[in-house]
Amino acid sequence: MKYDSFYKALAMQADAEENTVPDMPEHRFSWKYEHEKKLLIKAYEKSQSQNESVAGTFRKLHLRRKIQVAVLIAALVLLLTGGSVYVAYNIGGFAGYRQSTHTEVSFECWEDSPKTLYPHYYLTYDLKGWNKEILCDETDKYSEIYRNKNKYIHYTYETWNRYIENNPESDFEEMHPDGEFVEGRTLHHINSDGSERLIWTDSRYWLSLDYSGITYDEAVKIRESSYAPTYRITYDMSDWEEALMCDNSTMRWVVYRKGSEEFSFEICTKESYQKVHLNTEGTELKNRTVNGHEGIYINNPDHGFQYLAYDNGDYIFEFAFTFEYDKAMEIINSIEMR
């Protein structure tokens, strides 16, 4: 079947990635493309091991993956045919170069933009009456200490990469053989000076709470109050199925589904957005104003989705949805930092 041939072509390309094809035009794909390609190859290999048809696997892929499959097919064809650019766009900081089957989009001014989706955690627990001192406030580490007579709380978090670099033996059991796991994959450890520590991770950051003079139960409550505001949909999505597709230092991607409807919300750094391929066959980029920001919009009825992206000054917001534009805007306009 044609999908089976396509997946096999991707797998063969991955196996021989170091080889180059003579006279092939230079064409660098975005990291999103490479990520999606690897996921597609894994999906194919899994389907083969389970004796499942590739067409069946394709039908199960969510909207964003289907879009990416179409884009990958178009991109591979383009590589072989050397398609020519015939329309250029510049909308709200987005530079688009439309070819016969797709538009390559990048963001023009990103050098001074944030390099990470940096959340600032803080404790919502009531510590009124405690003296607070900030010990470190950097993009990859934050540390503060609270004191109240003979009691203290030392609260720290740092990025996963920094933690691994400073603690190469970062496995919980190896670092703290005398510690024990408690609720929420949190490690409880008694330090040599008699103080205690709680350590946990949210997959992007390592967090710790050293304490003395308070009970373990109170420390757990303080740990549970650790919170990082982020851009969230405040529209009521309680009856939608939510799937977190990616959550790292440069991109957060959440997909919501209800019946045949699907809504994809992605926020990413401007730098990571470079060279994104959008399937615009038979359509063109248009401009839309969202929350006071000019963005790009695509309505692709042939593939059953609409796409909207804009820059809020710090990050790129992307949306793909399969239902009415006005309804989608109600969801998009509800996004707040909280």
3-state secondary structure of 301: helix
Q: Residue 19 is part of which domain span?
A: 2-82
Strand partners, 210: 154, 197
Predicted local confidence at residue 331, as pLDDT: 97
Higher pLDDT pick, 277 / 221: 221
Specify if 217 maps to a domain: yes
DSSP secondary structure of 258-296: ETTEEEEEEEEETGGGSSEEE--TT---EEEEETTEEEE
- pLDDT attached to residue 248: 77
- Quick: pLDDT tens for 261-274: 999 999 999 988 88
What pLDDT sits at residue 50? 43
Does position 156 have pLDDT exceeding 50, yes or no?
A: yes
R_g over Cα of the chain = 24
* pTM (predicted TM-score): 0.64
Q: Are residues 181 and 246 in the same domain?
A: no
Last residue of a domain, one of 27, 60, 82: 82
Percent share of the chain, pLDDT over 70: 68
Task: For residue range 246-264, list pLDDT tens digits in order.
Answer: 887 788 999 999 999 999 9
pLDDT tens-digit series, residues 295-330 = 999 988 666 889 999 999 999 999 999 999 999 999
In the predicted model, is pLDDT for residue 336 greater than 60?
yes
Lookup: tokens for 323: 């239902």
Q: What burial letters (b/e) apply to 102-135, b meaning 16+ CB within 10 Å? A: bbbbbbeebeebeeebbbebebebeeeeeeeeee
Q: Is 110 part of a structural domain of the chain?
A: no
Does a structural domain hold residue 127? yes
Q: How confident is the model at residue 111 (pLDDT cuts 50, 70, 90)?
A: confident
Q: Among 227, 252, 284, where does a domain finish?
A: 227
Residue 94: inside a domain: no
The CATH number that applies at residue 151 is 3.40.1000
Q: Where are the alpha helices (DSSP H) in the chain?
A: 2-15, 31-49, 54-60, 63-81, 160-166, 172-175, 216-224, 325-332
* Cα–Cα distance measured from residue 78 to residue 171, given in angstroms and rounded to the nearest whole number: 45
Same domain, 126 and 146: yes
What integer pLDDT is reported at residue 179 of this predicted model?
55
What tens digit of pLDDT does each residue of 117-141 get?
A: 877 899 999 999 999 999 999 888 9
- The model's pLDDT over 173-208, given as tens digits with 9 standing for 90+, comes to 455 545 565 666 788 888 889 999 998 887 778 899
| C-alpha–C-alpha distance, residues 160 and 204, integer Å | 5
Domain count, the chain: 3
Q: What's the chain's average pLDDT?
A: 77
What number is the average pLDDT over the span 217-230?
93
The reply to whether 60 falls in a domain is yes
Specify whether 175 is located in the same domain as 268.
Answer: no
